Structure 1
Amino acid sequence: MALGVDRITNTVYVESNSFDPWLNLAIEEYLLNSYARDSSVLYLWQNEKTVVIGRNQNAWQECRLDNLERDGGRLARRLSGGGAVYHDLGNLNFTFLMPRKEYNLHRQLSVIVDAVKELGIEAHFSGRNDILAGGKKFSGNAFYHGQFASYHHGTILIDVDTGKLSEYLNVSKEKIESKGVKSVVSRVVNLKEMKPDLTIDTMKKAMYRGFIEEYGQIDNVLDFERVIESEDIGGLYEKYSSKEWLLGRNPEF
């Protein structure tokens, strides 16, 4: 354990059993507001067939909404910045939430790196806050800083259908000419390619152990069903599922 012996905050763990992106993002903001002022929180969650765009992105420019809706997928917008990403059930999302004074990107990324190494896969940070294995990216990250607390969230690619990237995400003509979707796919890797027996559940358990290793024994494991009964969740869900949040911020296009 790096600094856990001298920790200032409590440690909290919660795992979502929903694949609804609007609910999962509502819970993330609820944890930020209700727990992260005085606790270090690890939140694990998954979305099913979802394109998630950054706070300031234009949905019509970033996403092929017709294709997504045709296939029963959902569009979601997060609080953090950054680019558009595709989530399916081959991907595990994580969020570290904590008081601003406790926020330390290197420590947070270390939890993921150590968890993956424990599973027998060599991993390391890149200069862009991505995490690489075999020279390819398996985890991308984004960040949000509130007045009192911050969060850092991202993806861990286990067995994502990378073929859907070009189906649901718009790629500019310039990117197609200079890099191409195939090139983008060639720079990412599913961890299952390196460890064929790897499952989402195995990765969750490794993250749980890695969190304890870095931050100390977990003080509070939140019951997901009780979390979603919290009175704040309903209003947050309305926000994340509203057309105004998803599309209304877009400039005229």
Structure 2
Amino acid sequence: MAQTMMRKMAVSGACVFIGLTRRSSSRALVAGAKNLSTQKKEPRVLPAEGEVTKSVFMSQSTDIYSNLALEDWMYRNMDFSNHHVMMVWRNDPCVVVGKHQNPWMEANVPLLAEREIALARRSSGGGTVYHDRGNLNITFFTPRERYNRKYNLELVKRALFRSFNIKSIINEREDLLVRDKYKVSGTAAKLGRLTAYHHCTLLVNANKADLSKALAKREHGIQTNATASTRSPVANLGDLNNQVTVEGLQTAVGYEYLRTPALQLDDGGEDQIAKQRGFQFVNPTDQWFPGLAEIRNELQSWDWCFGKTPIFTVSRAFPVPLELLAPSRSYGATQELIINMTVDKGLIDDVTLSIPPGLVASGFHGEAEVVTQLRGKRFTAEALAALQQALLTRHHRPERKLDDTEQFVAKCFDQVVNTV
């Protein structure tokens, strides 16, 4: 229904689909940035609801870092006082963690690396989500004073029912649920002094098997104060109505957004749509949005994705195989190698090895060399490489191979840094 109505309105001229050119979009957006910087020096007087227009920006990129950079660019540079914007976007497979989360706890990091699935950290809080082409992502931009998460979710809820006859509810966590328990949308926000945005993702026909593997929880021994995700059963909207597509949902939600006034959840119909700025295709590149590439590079960097992780400790114990223990002695308890690490900004800050008597008796030593080599290394395979190098060089024979005991220690470290 929404697609049919949109086509009718596009023909009648009630709704205008605008493909922004690089020149016009850059000028318009930079002008908004200049207005915002001027406004910072004066008291805020926001226009009345009737003076506020709306646009739906449709990103032409499926790159998670480019789309997150576009969000940040708009948040930093645009003035939304009399122009509210809803951005719709989708991504190639990726995992996105909240600003204050620990990716090693929230995602299967080794699997993501193996499958070349991007891991990104966004600038808003909230929990970890999996994206692919079967997700529709929506960002609502407003002035800080007019941030209203419930208003936005009600719009989405109304669009689902109006266009696809899907009933949903908004729970106390402000997630969107269907059939009273299945989550189809999570939500997060960023609130600044002048500007705010609220974004959510809608599961349409996402690969739930890949979602489950990418976000699999495992025993990893990590202790942290980082924000933890709340796990919930999920469903695709396509499971409820096979007519739902990402493209159709994008049109339906955009149509609902444009037919609704800026502050009140009234249905203004075609008359309200005629007052708006319509749908606009945008391309998140430096040519369209000067300075966006720099933001994207920062968001893609290891220092942001992993280095912004709050400090954490990891402790793992590994039973030593009997064949590695000194055969001439008997032991009253299980011999365990215990590894303790403190990781700050994604770098190993401290590490201790508790070497059991059985390994000491069999000839393993060199904890000091190992600890020295590991400090300051990234909590990744970089640490494992440093450990192996330390074990190889502790007898000043870099050409030799690790013996069985050393291979066991290296394997234990591998399991710690790869959290498998």
Q: Distance in 2 between matches of 1:36 and 1:9?
A: 12
TM-score, length-scaled by structure 2: 0.54
Deviation at 1:92, TM superposition (A): 0.6
Q: Distance in 1 between matches of 2:149 and 2:56?
A: 18
2:248 corresponds in structure 1 to 202
Contact in 1 for aligned 2:93/2:130 (Cα 8 Å)? yes
Contact in 2 for aligned 1:158/1:192 (Cα 8 Å)? yes
Question: Considering only aligned residues, what root-mean-square deviation do their CA atoms show, in Å?
Answer: 2.1
Counterpart residue identity of residue 305, structure 2: L
1:127 corresponds in structure 2 to 172
Equivalent residue runs for 1:12-27 within 5 Å: 12-27=55-70
Equivalent residue runs for 1:35-46 within 5 Å: 35-38=78-81, 39-46=83-90
Counterpart residue identity of residue 307, structure 2: G
Counterpart residue identity of residue 158, structure 1: V
Q: Which residue, 49, 67, 71 being the options, matches 2:115?
A: 71
1:243 corresponds in structure 2 to 302
Q: Distance in 1 between matches of 2:63 and 2:96?
A: 12
2:282 is the counterpart of 1:224:
yes
Change (3 A) 1:7 1:141: farther
Contact in 2 for aligned 1:57/1:83 (Cα 8 Å)? yes
1:30 corresponds in structure 2 to 73
What residue ranges of structure 1 are gaps of 5+ in the alignment?
175-183
What residue ranges of structure 2 are gaps of 5+ in the alignment?
1-47, 221-230, 262-271, 312-342, 349-420
Q: Distance in 2 between matches of 1:202 and 1:68?
A: 30
Contact in 1 for aligned 2:56/2:279 (Cα 8 Å)? yes
Deviation at 1:228, TM superposition (A): 4.9
Counterpart residue identity of residue 161, structure 1: N
Moved over 6 A (4+): none
Q: Distance in 2 between matches of 1:162 and 1:110?
A: 25
Contact in 1 for aligned 2:67/2:284 (Cα 8 Å)? no
* Larger RCO: 1 or 2 (CA < 8 Å, sep 6+): 1
Q: Is the partner of 1:248 in helix, strand or coil?
A: coil
Change (3 A) 1:36 1:95: farther
Deviation at 1:222, TM superposition (A): 3.6
Change (3 A) 1:112 1:36: farther
Q: Distance in 2 between matches of 1:247 and 1:227?
A: 24
Residue range with higher mean Cα deviation, 27-36 or 107-116: 27-36
2:184 is the counterpart of 1:141:
no
Q: Is the partner of 1:140 in helix, strand or coil?
A: strand
Q: Which residue, 135, 144, 153 being the options, matches 2:199?
A: 153
Q: Distance in 2 between matches of 1:199 and 1:126?
A: 24
Percentage of identical aligned residues: 28
Residue range with higher mean Cα deviation, 6-15 or 55-64: 6-15
1:106 corresponds in structure 2 to 150
Q: Distance in 2 between matches of 1:226 and 1:65?
A: 27
TM-score, length-scaled by structure 1: 0.87
Deviations 1:44-64 (A, max 9, x none): 011111000000112222222
Q: Distance in 2 between matches of 1:140 and 1:226?
A: 24
Q: Distance in 1 between matches of 2:66 and 2:144?
A: 24
Contact in 2 for aligned 1:36/1:97 (Cα 8 Å)? no
Q: Which residue, 189, 208, 233 being the options, matches 1:162?
A: 208
Higher Cα Rg, which structure: 2
